[in-house]
Amino acid sequence: WQRGIQVLLDFSLDLFQSRDRDDPMQQLISWAERLAETGHVGLWSFKADGPQVMLQAASGKLEPLIGKKLKTGEDIPWKVWKSGQSTFIQEYSAWSNASGLLKKSGLQSGIGVPLKSANQVMHVLSVYYESLSPALAEPRMSLLELLAQVAFDSLNLRQRLDELSEARAAQEEKVN
Task: Let me know: does 60 contact 39? Beta carbons within 8 Å.
Answer: yes
CA distance 103 to 164: 44
Instruction: With a cut of 60, say whether residue 86 has pLDDT above it.
Output: yes
Instruction: With a cut of 90, say whether residue 75 has pLDDT above it.
Output: yes
Instruction: With a cut of 60, say whether residue 29 has pLDDT above it.
Output: yes
DSSP 3-state assignment of 33? Answer: helix
Instruction: With a cut of 60, say whether residue 87 has pLDDT above it.
Output: yes
Over residues 112-130, the pLDDT tens digits come to 999 887 788 888 999 998 8
Q: What is the mean pLDDT of residues 24-34?
A: 80
Task: Let me know: does 73 contact 113? Beta carbons within 8 Å.
Answer: no
Instruction: With a cut of 90, say whether residue 132 has pLDDT above it.
Output: no
Task: Let me know: does 43 contact 122? Beta carbons within 8 Å.
Answer: no
Instruction: With a cut of 90, say whether residue 71 has pLDDT above it.
Output: no
Mean pLDDT, the chain, as a whole number? 81
Q: What is the mean pLDDT of residues 133-140?
A: 73
Which one has a higher pLDDT value, 157 or 54? 54
pTM of the model: 0.78
Which one has a higher pLDDT value, 158 or 77? 77
Residue 123's CB is within 10 A of a number of other CB atoms, namely 26
What local confidence, expressed as pLDDT, does residue 43 receive?
A: 93
Q: What is the mean pLDDT of residues 68-80?
A: 91
Instruction: With a cut of 60, say whether residue 147 has pLDDT above it.
Output: yes
